[in-house]
Structure 1
């Protein structure tokens, strides 16, 4: 069990915080939500309070911002800023305290740099506008918008919660696919052992009798001598072609190809659309203009295919066209999302429409992953059983014939 720190809101709107023991961050999140808490943010508790002075960033006022943070690091920084905003501590002091708690040197350096700039008299908005690529565009944009409306803590809690939901969705689906992959690898290992070891022993015994082998036995030995190597060669060629296409065509076209695969393609598309819709919803809820929200979401999600579509939609909306009309021509956008967007445009509740879309496609992705996990293992077992019967029939038919002829 590990210890995690959390902040959350009660059903009465009261901001609370504390520590909880759980097996993982997702487990801690589930326990807190089961208590009826909202806007939950969970972080790892540091193993040792503080850190050695020579292993911490300098506290002096740096003039240049630190290197750009990764999406995961930016999410952690946003969580710390949300906690500082919720506790109503002075911003600079709260950021320095958060820097002492985090286990990431890069996040600590970013927090200390922002604290230095604030202590020098610069506003948070001005600091982030001159921070270069320190934070992803959607995080910077949300902080700037929320600072103007006085809802910084609430906005960052929503952003972190959205990213935790997205990570949980990825973990759940990958876990189901990993189970299927392990089943296939184990089946391949067992069949290879049978063909290369068991079949060899019986083959030598049959050859000693110098008799004509049945067709099924000849087919089995041909598969042992040439078929497995041929199948491996075909798999190697296909893998090489896939790698070459990924390198030459680029990530966007590669993701577009993956999304066209049966069953698996719709799973990946549902995950990407759920991530995108959730991020757009959070950005719109805090009064970021639609074109800017679409651009920020396009740069902020992991799928470059859906991200490029979001950037194209942003350009169209900026020219005065309706978002729902633009979405009709985009194959990356599921048709079932368009009526939701049309409803949001009519009722002026686009943020709510995208939130519903995130929930809908998130549940759809989980259901598809569960379907794959439920259907593929039995199919693999049936396939393995058929192959085992073929091997046994091929090996023991000539032995049965020998007994009958004797």
Structure 2
């Protein structure tokens, strides 16, 4: 007899969970009804375990974008919210999203508002999306809000893919160069050691050859120690960056890094302005919008500066003034915010700033990659040339060519 895992409610409304044995699902439902329990969800225990595997997982942006778009289309066509969620749950091909939609539909069926039900899954639905849905429900423009969330999600994913795509080739060059150098030092160079043994005894080896052979011998003898030390260092840095102090210092380094700093700053400002503008355009209060946008900036230093600005704004100051004094925003951005505030179209100005900063970021990123690629090729070429010279110099020297 199979086991069924259930979620049910008592007459008082209290939720209970458990496992019961029954010949089939209908008998399991009847058993719950006989115990004065109202079933919310009844699944085979094995199926419930499989679903548990996906609970708490993040959902990729493209699946969320499709969900927001389809939900907006269904609501606009007059399909009730509960029926729309049920249809999207059945059609979903992503296991994690399918499970979440089932739980959201159950909460909405119990009378919970959509924003509240979504807010119970913070790993799937961002605070920005939840706040916008809440504003859309209160203002009776939920369909429009869902479309805007979908567009925003697509835009952010496109920007992320553009940045990641630009760094693929440099990452490939770094990996390829490391493999080539390791191969030369561990397998290729040691084959020349017997040839240079007599010259080494007489002290006739050039310094470049002596250095290369010494480093090669060290790599052969202690390669496992080197990899272990690198692994320990990476884990230690990762753990340190997870702390508040470590994250702050790491983000400070990113902002100050030559070539990379302006790109990181532009990305953070663009993300902040787009999120803040989107929230304000959808009726979310300014202080709540600032709090959400602050946490979504993606840089601890920028977030701290925005948080201090939000405190100043809550005390009655204008928006532009604290942004100017924090020292993290360019003057032209502050001026545009001030103009938008005076003209009472701040949300549109913020979106325009985000568009402008993203265009600048694309140009800076393109220039950075164009500078990085030849530099990495030159470094690889220099290493290979050094190895070749170090191996050929003794040959030329013994032949009397030098």
Contact 1:290 1:317 survives alignment (8 Å): no
Correspondence 1:114-193 to 2 at 5 A: 114-116=104-106, 122=111, 124=113, 128-129=115-116, 133-134=120-121, 135-193=125-183
CA deviation profile, 1:314-361 (whole Å, cap 9, x unmatched) = 332222111111112334434442122112111111111111121122
Contact 1:137 1:299 survives alignment (8 Å): no
How many Å separate the matches in 1 of 2:139 and 2:175? Answer: 54
How many Å separate the matches in 2 of 1:237 and 1:69? Answer: 28
Alpha-carbon shift at residue 183 of structure 1 (Å): 0.3
Unaligned runs of 5+ in 2: 1-24, 30-37, 42-51
Contact 2:309 2:326 survives alignment (8 Å): no
How many Å separate the matches in 1 of 2:206 and 2:100? Answer: 73
Contact 1:258 1:265 survives alignment (8 Å): yes
Contact 1:173 1:365 survives alignment (8 Å): no
| SS of residue paired to 2:120 | coil
Residue 365 in structure 1 maps to residue 352 in structure 2: no
Contact 1:284 1:293 survives alignment (8 Å): yes
Contact 2:104 2:117 survives alignment (8 Å): no
Contact 1:317 1:323 survives alignment (8 Å): yes
Question: 1:338 aligns to what?
Answer: 334
Number of corresponding residues: 345
CA deviation profile, 1:252-291 (whole Å, cap 9, x unmatched) = 4433332222222332332222222111111111222211
One of 89, 105, 119 as aligned partner of 1:99? 89
Higher Cα Rg, which structure: 2
How many Å separate the matches in 2 of 1:168 and 1:154? Answer: 21
Report the TM-score when normalising by structure 1: 0.72
CA deviation profile, 1:193-212 (whole Å, cap 9, x unmatched) = 22333322223112245541
Unaligned runs of 5+ in 1: 1-53
Contact 1:137 1:300 survives alignment (8 Å): no
Residue 396 in structure 1 maps to residue 392 in structure 2: yes
Question: 2:313 aligns to what?
Answer: 317
One of 202, 213, 217 as aligned partner of 1:221? 213
Question: 1:380 aligns to what?
Answer: 376
How many Å separate the matches in 1 of 2:57 and 2:303? Answer: 19
Question: 2:274 aligns to what?
Answer: 278
Query: 69-78 vs 356-365, which deviates more?
Result: 69-78
Correspondence 1:185-334 to 2 at 5 A: 185-208=175-198, 211=202, 212-226=204-218, 239=234, 242-243=237-238, 245-248=240-243, 249-300=245-296, 302-334=298-330
One of 349, 356, 361 as aligned partner of 1:353? 349
Cα–Cα, structure 1 residues 110 and 241, in superposed 2: closer, same or farther, change >3 Å? closer
Report the TM-score when normalising by structure 2: 0.73
Alpha-carbon shift at residue 112 of structure 1 (Å): 4.2
Cα–Cα, structure 1 residues 206 and 113, in superposed 2: closer, same or farther, change >3 Å? closer
| SS of residue paired to 1:328 | helix
